[in-house]
Chains A and B, each alone.
Chain A
Amino acid sequence: MRGESGRKGTRTTAGLAALALVLGACGGTEPSPPQTDVPGEPSAPVASEPDVASGGLPIPRSEAVVVDTDTTYTTFDGANLFIPEGSQWGSGYHQVVNEWSWYLNYATGETINHRIEGWEYADDFETFTLNVREGVTWNDGEPFTADDIVFTIQMLLDNPDLIGHSVADEWVESAEAEDDLTAVIHLKKPNPRFEHQFRMWGGALGQTVAQHVWEGEDPMTFRNWPPVETGPYQLQDVYEDFNMFVWERREDYWGQELGLEAGPRYVVYRTAPPPDINLQEVVQGEVDAPLPHVFPWHMVEAARAVSEDVVTASYLDPNPIGIYGFNIKHPLLQQREARWAVAMLLNRDKLAELYPAAESSVASPYPWPAPDWESMARFTPMAEAALERIEAEDGFSYEYNPERAAEILDELGYVLDGEVRVTPEGDPLSLVLLTRPATLQEEFYVAEDLAAELRAIGIDATIKSVDPGAYPDTIREGAFDIAVGWIEAVPSAFASDIVFGLDWWRWKEAEIAADPLKDQITFSNAELDEVVDQLNTTLPDDPAAEALYEEGIYLLMREMLAAPAVEKAFVQTFSTQHWTGWPSDEDMYHVPYNWWPEFTFVLFGIEPRE
């Protein structure tokens, strides 16, 4: 009857509502139970200050630096850098917890010996000695010693499936700890730059683990969680439901002896909200360091228009954007003259306007970041000299000159037949430009402009956009003619030593076959091989290295294997509502990027706003 059915309906609705509440409360969700096994005293969430708009923080806002990332976190319980997905990028672990033995301050050119005092080589460069700094400790209080370094190297040697094994296997014969502060590594072949393995982002060999924690564990599955590291911060808690990691300052941090004291008690890394909300949060001071990838220039301008507490620090990314490479198996592009002709079609001044953020969107010709990288300043005159030599010898200059480009193609036998440029065999000349989609990467616009310039001189140019995931395969398969994207300057840039870049460009056939990440854009040149081989047995500050660097840079640039169009600057934004002392355009005391491991040095430099 209706009355009965009505009462049933009411009960059902109430039950569903209760069920929904119960499900929401407890079903499968274990939102961040306190990590009670953190080394040292356990931390518990501290009552937050009223902060309704952002959903609140579990720790006092005035004691925290809040940092944005664009990563959606999927790994909440791993700090193993040797296996895929063993750690969460952008969680703050790489930035403020994990440390390297030494760093380069790319902004100032300064070498920072951090966990080590320095290093030495035997005369034959086959024995490398690391001198560990006394007093360095893990966050559980145990000392960091040479034994940890040796243990890590041996672990990599013994486990072929770990990231870093191939480097260890290629270079290391054996390693031993002479004493707590001296690690001696015997190399299989000379390497006067082996110290870079222990530099920030130098390689897995430098990711020293705590022997007393890892010994007896299977490195293929061990999580190292909560992370035991030497860095100034340790895990406070993970808030999975909030996509947030909170790190707490170590009060026993060994670096304080060196004057390295972190200002904030807490560092919060979290996934950035949508841009409109992110803007509100920056303006209201709810986030201290938004991520440039999702907080672009027009948002910075909007924030600065509303708030005086928004400051910026613009810095060049190490990867210029331009012609990432040529398919040098193409009949036309295997000729360096043709590659120069294509490079002359890049209108760098016009393309630089795509990046209004950068007062320094300088379209430099060097396949490495310049001129802002003080650490690379040494090589700038060499590159300039190389360009002058190329112009004198070949008549090629790195300037936008479509008329000259057309002339070069004519000289190579690729002439115009009406309005269409044809091959020597009489077939229409067409080129495929490979890029990533316009929705994802700005380099699409470089490709678009280049395609238009190619068409203007009679070449049928088409753009092939592929998903970033398919980009490497497409390169390897040679299914392109000109690849447009980020130019591989990272090896040189981070080492601040050109030899790494020179070595990267060399075509070592066995390497290509063995390593899928080594694409087909590299090339073979006996002269360059000789120069790089000599450099690889010469210390970088050896007077003899100077001439070798110059010759290597000349040979590389002469070949025109990559053509930078613009140098992309990331504008790191900071809010000064809670913290001051951030790097700025006027005082770039460190690279300001919040996703770089060097960010820890920025935290050493800030202090609470009065």
Chain B
Amino acid sequence: MARVATYYAARLANYLVVLLIAFTIVFFFLRLIPGDPVENYLQSLAQQGFRIEGSAQIIATYREKFGLDQPLLVQYAAALERTFLHLDLGVSLMNYPQPVESSIMVRLPWSIWLLGVSTVIAWVLGIAAGTVTGWLRGTAFDSVFYNLSISLAQVPQYLVGLLLVLILAYALGLFPAGGAYSAGVAPGLNLEFFGSVLYYTTLPALSIVIVSAFFWLLTTRALTVSILGEDYILFAEAKGLRRLRILNRYILRNTLLPQVTGFAVSLAFIVNGFFLIEWIFRYPGLGSLLVAAVGQRDFNTVQGIILLSIFTVLTANLIVDLIYPLIDPRIRTAAERA
């Protein structure tokens, strides 16, 4: 028991250290990007035709306001304290003085909704189809789906999205080409809004599901095929168990374990948003916010989104690490032996 507790403690400590290192890398990496957010803004104004004189004063004032006039290590220490001790991601430089959290929280639910639902659907479909195709390996069914997967799993999702828009939205007029919901519907907890959200989510979700499901199918199929060669499968067949029972109790459960890890990590990445999909479908997610922030050198917002993503991935991994011993007795036993 003590060893299991040590296992958990070690995982937790590792989590904190990795989080700190990731924060440090992101902080300094962003500062390597050339350009100053204020000067960037004034330069863009000048290019648009505005006359900007006396910019030195303006730049100095706002650098001081944003804390950019301090030495890099001082900025780092301040950011470290603000982020980890006060859970404050700072203010948005491109939308000053709005806190970064506000900018993120407006977009985050849309990213979670679109990418979360798409990821779950793709995973479920991919796991199911992958298990069945692996189970039916060598048949025509397997051949069709296997070859289809190899082709489609590598197609960029934004390309699929573009095709769906052009065919299903413009050519056939079955779905809207963009947006998160109809502009004529008032958002709220009502069926009309939910229905509109579902309707408008269909195409962007489909563009993600189509590619991702085939990816999961391929990996699951490979796992299934390898499991089929195990002795316990042979034993189960020799015992005369029904094929469906073998598929469900022996094959599927063993393919699920590694796929759960992958699924947890892929879910964590949804907080990155997906800029290209958001751009094609004019979806108000985090991806477009991230790209806008990078373009305007809004260090705080970029850092906030990346940190959120890192935090989510690390936390997802930690949760998987912590629950694995609970669902797989072999790991629990190994931990105890260690």
How far is the CB of A416 from the nearest CB of chain B, in Å? 37
Contacts of A84 in B (CB 8 A): 38, 41-42, 58, 62, 96
The reply to whether A166 and B57 contact each other, CB–CB distance below 8 Å, is yes
User: Which residue of the partner chain, among A25, A89, A486, contacts B187 with CB atoms under 8 Å?
Assistant: A25
CB closest residue in chain A, given B161: A274
Contacts of A271 in B (CB 8 A): 282
The reply to whether A53 and B43 contact each other, CB–CB distance below 8 Å, is no
User: Which residue of the partner chain, among B43, B96, B184, B187, contacts A85 with CB atoms under 8 Å?
Assistant: B96
How far is the CB of A233 from the nearest CB of chain B, in Å? 19
The reply to whether A491 and B282 contact each other, CB–CB distance below 8 Å, is no
Contacts of A17 in B (CB 8 A): 117
How far is the CB of A579 from the nearest CB of chain B, in Å? 20
Given contact pairs A20-B117, A28-B106, A515-B55, A277 touches B177 in the complex (Cβ within 8 A): yes
CB closest residue in chain A, given B38: A84
How far is the CB of B225 from the nearest CB of chain A, in Å? 25
Q: Which chain A residues (1-58) contact chain B, with CB distance < 8 Å?
A: 16-17, 20-31, 45, 47-48, 52-58
Contacts of B180 in A (CB 8 A): 31, 241-242
The reply to whether B46 and A27 contact each other, CB–CB distance below 8 Å, is no
User: Which residue of the partner chain, among A29, A47, A163, A280, contacts B184 with CB atoms under 8 Å?
Assistant: A47
User: Which residue of the partner chain, among A25, A277, A516, A517, contacts B193 with CB atoms under 8 Å?
Assistant: A25
Q: How far is the CA of A23 from the CA of B108 in the complex (A)?
A: 9
User: Which residue of the partner chain, among B53, B95, B109, B194, contacts A29 with CB atoms under 8 Å?
Assistant: B109
- Can you list, as one digit per residue, whether each of B31-66 has a CB less than 8 Å from chain A (1) or not (0)? 001111011111111111111111111110110000
The reply to whether A240 and B284 contact each other, CB–CB distance below 8 Å, is yes
The reply to whether B187 and A31 contact each other, CB–CB distance below 8 Å, is yes
Q: Does B325 touch A at the CB level, under 8 Å?
A: no
User: Which residue of the partner chain, among B62, B96, B297, contacts A469 with CB atoms under 8 Å?
Assistant: B297
Contacts of A165 in B (CB 8 A): 54, 57
Q: Does B206 touch A at the CB level, under 8 Å?
A: no
Q: Does B178 touch A at the CB level, under 8 Å?
A: yes
The reply to whether B194 and A48 contact each other, CB–CB distance below 8 Å, is no
Given contact pairs A47-B184, A56-B176, A472-B39, A274 touches B279 in the complex (Cβ within 8 A): yes
Q: Does A202 touch B at the CB level, under 8 Å?
A: yes
CB closest residue in chain A, given B187: A31
Contacts of B105 in A (CB 8 A): 27-28
Contacts of B19 in A (CB 8 A): none
Q: How far is the CA of A496 from the CA of B184 in the complex (A)?
A: 45
Contacts of B297 in A (CB 8 A): 469
CB closest residue in chain A, given B120: A16
User: Which residue of the partner chain, among A28, A53, A54, A277, contacts B109 with CB atoms under 8 Å?
Assistant: A28
Q: Does B179 touch A at the CB level, under 8 Å?
A: yes
Given contact pairs A26-B189, A243-B282, A517-B42, A53 touches B169 in the complex (Cβ within 8 A): yes
Q: How far is the CA of A469 from the CA of B178 in the complex (A)?
A: 31
Q: Which chain A residues (167-184) contact chain B, with CB distance < 8 Å?
A: 167, 169-170
The reply to whether A58 and B112 contact each other, CB–CB distance below 8 Å, is no
Q: Find the residue from B94, B97, B182, B200 having the highest chain A CB count within 10 A.
A: B182
Contacts of B289 in A (CB 8 A): 74
Q: Does A426 touch B at the CB level, under 8 Å?
A: no
How far is the CB of A435 from the nearest CB of chain B, in Å? 15
Contacts of A604 in B (CB 8 A): none
The reply to whether B197 and A58 contact each other, CB–CB distance below 8 Å, is no
The reply to whether B96 and A161 contact each other, CB–CB distance below 8 Å, is no
How far is the CB of A106 from the nearest CB of chain B, in Å? 11
Contacts of A221 in B (CB 8 A): 97
Q: How far is the CA of A20 from the CA of B116 in the complex (A)?
A: 8
User: Which residue of the partner chain, among A25, A74, A466, contacts B197 with CB atoms under 8 Å?
Assistant: A25
Contacts of B279 in A (CB 8 A): 273-274
- Can you list, as one digit per residue, whether each of B51-95 has a CB less than 8 Å from chain A (1) or not (0)? 111111111011000000000000000000000000000001111
- Can you list, as one digit per residue, whether each of B170-205 has a CB less than 8 Å from chain A (1) or not (0)? 100101111111111011110001100100100000
How far is the CB of A131 from the nearest CB of chain B, in Å? 23
How far is the CB of A122 from the nearest CB of chain B, in Å? 24
The reply to whether B53 and A515 contact each other, CB–CB distance below 8 Å, is yes
Q: How far is the CA of A169 from the CA of B53 in the complex (A)?
A: 11
The reply to whether B54 and A166 contact each other, CB–CB distance below 8 Å, is yes
Q: How far is the CA of A161 from the CA of B282 in the complex (A)?
A: 36
The reply to whether B179 and A517 contact each other, CB–CB distance below 8 Å, is no
- Can you list, as one digit per residue, whether each of B292-312 has a CB less than 8 Å from chain A (1) or not (0)? 110111000000000000000
The reply to whether B113 and A24 contact each other, CB–CB distance below 8 Å, is yes
- Can you list, as one digit per residue, whether each of A82-97 has a CB less than 8 Å from chain B (1) or not (0)? 0011000100000000
Q: How far is the CA of A162 from the CA of B53 in the complex (A)?
A: 11
The reply to whether B113 and A20 contact each other, CB–CB distance below 8 Å, is yes
The reply to whether B179 and A24 contact each other, CB–CB distance below 8 Å, is no
CB closest residue in chain B, given A466: B34
Contacts of A467 in B (CB 8 A): 33-35
How far is the CB of B329 from the nearest CB of chain A, in Å? 16
Q: Find the residue from A57, A239, A280 having the highest chain B CB count within 10 A.
A: A280
Given contact pairs A74-B94, A516-B55, A273 touches B280 in the complex (Cβ within 8 A): yes
Q: How far is the CA of A29 from the CA of B188 in the complex (A)?
A: 10
The reply to whether A201 and B296 contact each other, CB–CB distance below 8 Å, is no
How far is the CB of A518 from the nearest CB of chain B, in Å? 9
User: Which residue of the partner chain, among A55, A162, A201, contacts B50 with CB atoms under 8 Å?
Assistant: A201
Q: Does A394 touch B at the CB level, under 8 Å?
A: no
Contacts of A16 in B (CB 8 A): 120
Contacts of B186 in A (CB 8 A): 45
Q: Does A160 touch B at the CB level, under 8 Å?
A: yes
CB closest residue in chain B, given A284: B170
Contacts of A201 in B (CB 8 A): 49-51
Q: Does A470 touch B at the CB level, under 8 Å?
A: yes
Q: How far is the CA of A54 from the CA of B170 in the complex (A)?
A: 9
The reply to whether B282 and A242 contact each other, CB–CB distance below 8 Å, is yes
Q: How far is the CA of A486 from the CA of B53 in the complex (A)?
A: 19
Q: Does B288 touch A at the CB level, under 8 Å?
A: yes
Contacts of A45 in B (CB 8 A): 183-184, 186
How far is the CB of A85 from the nearest CB of chain B, in Å? 5
Q: Does B165 touch A at the CB level, under 8 Å?
A: yes
Q: Does B257 touch A at the CB level, under 8 Å?
A: no
The reply to whether A24 and B53 contact each other, CB–CB distance below 8 Å, is no
Q: How far is the CA of A204 from the CA of B95 in the complex (A)?
A: 21
How far is the CB of B240 from the nearest CB of chain A, in Å? 19
Given contact pairs A55-B179, A167-B54, A27 touches B94 in the complex (Cβ within 8 A): no
Q: How far is the CA of A472 from the CA of B194 in the complex (A)?
A: 49
The reply to whether A469 and B35 contact each other, CB–CB distance below 8 Å, is yes
Contacts of B56 in A (CB 8 A): 514-516
Q: Does A411 touch B at the CB level, under 8 Å?
A: no
Contacts of A241 in B (CB 8 A): 110, 179-181, 284
Q: Does A386 touch B at the CB level, under 8 Å?
A: no
How far is the CB of B245 from the nearest CB of chain A, in Å? 10
Contacts of A141 in B (CB 8 A): none
Q: How far is the CA of A450 from the CA of B98 in the complex (A)?
A: 46
How far is the CB of A363 from the nearest CB of chain B, in Å? 22
Q: Does A494 touch B at the CB level, under 8 Å?
A: yes
The reply to whether B49 and A490 contact each other, CB–CB distance below 8 Å, is yes
User: Which residue of the partner chain, among A29, A57, A89, A276, contacts B162 with CB atoms under 8 Å?
Assistant: A276
Contacts of A276 in B (CB 8 A): 162, 165-166
How far is the CB of B40 from the nearest CB of chain A, in Å? 5
Given contact pairs A25-B194, A241-B180, A55 touches B200 in the complex (Cβ within 8 A): yes
The reply to whether A85 and B41 contact each other, CB–CB distance below 8 Å, is yes
The reply to whether A469 and B54 contact each other, CB–CB distance below 8 Å, is no
Q: List 11 A-B contacts (CB under 8 A).
A: A22-B189, A23-B113, A29-B107, A57-B184, A89-B45, A167-B51, A221-B97, A240-B284, A241-B181, A271-B282, A517-B39
List 4 extra interface pairs beyond A54-B179, A84-B96, A468-B35, CB under 8 A. Answer: A31-B180, A31-B284, A56-B176, A161-B57
Q: Which 7 A-B pairs have the closest CB atoms?
A: A166-B54, A469-B35, A55-B179, A470-B34, A24-B113, A28-B105, A27-B109
